[in-house]
Structure 1
Amino acid sequence: MKKLITLLLFGFVFAAFTNNVTAQEDYSALNLYVSFGGNGAINAQYEIPIVENVTISPAVVIPFDFDNLSVGVRADYYFDSLMKLPEPWDIWGGVDTGIVLGGDDNFNINAHVGVEYKFNQTWGILAEFGGGTASFGGVGVGIHF
């Protein structure tokens, strides 16, 4: 029952923010990457702009051992305008939180920083680094809409 309530809450948060897009640059993106370190995993999140330079993202993490599934939410601040970065570059910092479903249910919270270089309006390559209970970092692609 706890898992069902968590998934419903996660779905509500996702639905509540999908219609409130007001960011200066369009940060809507599907990020897919592989994390490495102590807890290597496949990661996916969909960024939804909520205010200028801030996104919120539902996130899913599947460890390489496929022993469990982590679902959560992230919040990121983009430093692009503050640092006056040219268009193909994005730099962000943020926090993420979620629960691990399967095995021993756990709650986690982490901080992270990342960078992305966009090849064109749709594709980018990204690297992200973090700590806490997640991993040490990861590399992957950003698909922008």
Structure 2
Amino acid sequence: MKTYLITTVLFIILIGTKVAAQDAIEEKTYPEKFGNTLNLGIGIGYYGYINQNTPVLHADFEFDVIKNLTVAPSISFYTYENYYYWGGPKNAYRDYRYRQTVIPVGVKVTYYFDELLKASNRWDFYAAGSAGVAIRSTVWESGYYGDTKINHSNSNVYADIHIGAEFHMTKKLGLFLDLSTGVSTFGLAVHL
């Protein structure tokens, strides 16, 4: 996974460098428009109920709402495999394997601080909040007849806080880093 991530990052930087030489970014003027942006990212999520980091794919599309504020419908995807120790009078106690696939669907509201920070034309800085519902599907190993709910206290509703930055390689392409209380991602921003 590390090799894939490093190769992907280097490839994106190489493409961005070549395109940047051909597509110069104009001087930033305010109010800047942040919407009409497709963000595609890969990242790591930590979920306490599974006690491990999990690779995540993420996508959202930002729309301008008012000056420096966007709203973005979003969707993510992650899957993991784990074990649950179970047994009973008719079943020997042992670890049973299960795979859970989760698709969080929600909305992210982002406020950009570029004007306040007098950021250069190559950078965007933001804080955001997101909320939504996680759609879950769990498949258990055959022979398991116990409770199929993985975590009884875990809700399908989520809410996260984000901070992040985007580096504009060109007028149309940027690289972003989004740090979050749920899923932190690194990816490509496509400005349409």
Is the TM-score greater than 0.5? yes
Counterpart of 2:77, as a letter, is I
2:76 aligned with 1:61: yes
State the TM-score, normalizing by the size of structure 1. Answer: 0.77
In structure 2, how many angstroms separate the alpha carbons of the residues matched to 1:64 and 1:101?
Answer: 12
| Alpha-carbon offset, residue 99 of structure 1 | 0.2
The residue type equivalent to 1:34 in the other structure is I
Match of 2:123 in 1: 89
Shift of 1:64: 4.1
Once the 2 structures are TM-superposed, how far is the Cα of residue 101 of structure 1 from its aligned partner?
A: 1.1
Per the alignment, in what secondary structure is the counterpart of residue 120 of structure 1? Answer: coil
| Residues 65-100 of structure 1, C-alpha deviations (whole Å, 9 max, x = no match) | 471211000000000000000111000001000101
Residue aligning to 2:43? 35
Aligned pair count reads 120
Task: Give the partner amino acid of 1:68.
Answer: V
Name the Cα RMSD after superposition. 1.7
Which one has the largest radius of gyration? 2
Letter in 2 for 1:125: L
How many angstroms apart in 2 are the aligned matches of 1:85 and 1:77? 14
Distance (whole Å) between structure 2 residues aligned to residue 139 and residue 102 of structure 1: 24
Matched with 1:9 is: none
Matched, 1:118 2:168: yes
> Could you tell me whether the CA contact under 8 Å between 2:104 and 2:134 is conserved in 1?
yes
Aligned residues with identical type, % of pairs: 24
Residues 1-145 of structure 1: pairs in structure 2 closer than 5 A: 24-27=31-34, 28-38=36-46, 39-65=54-80, 67-103=101-137, 106-131=156-181, 134-135=182-183, 137-145=184-192
Cα distance in 2 for residues equivalent to 1:37 and 1:44:
14
Moved beyond 6 Å, runs of 4+: none
Pairwise CA distance, 1:40: 2.7
Q: Comparing 44-53 with 104-113, which one deviates more in the overlay?
A: 104-113
SS in 1 for 2:126: strand
Worse overlay, 92-101 or 65-74: 65-74
- Whole-Å separation in 2 of the counterparts to 1:86 and 1:68: 38
What is the CA distance between 1:24 and its match in structure 2? 2.5
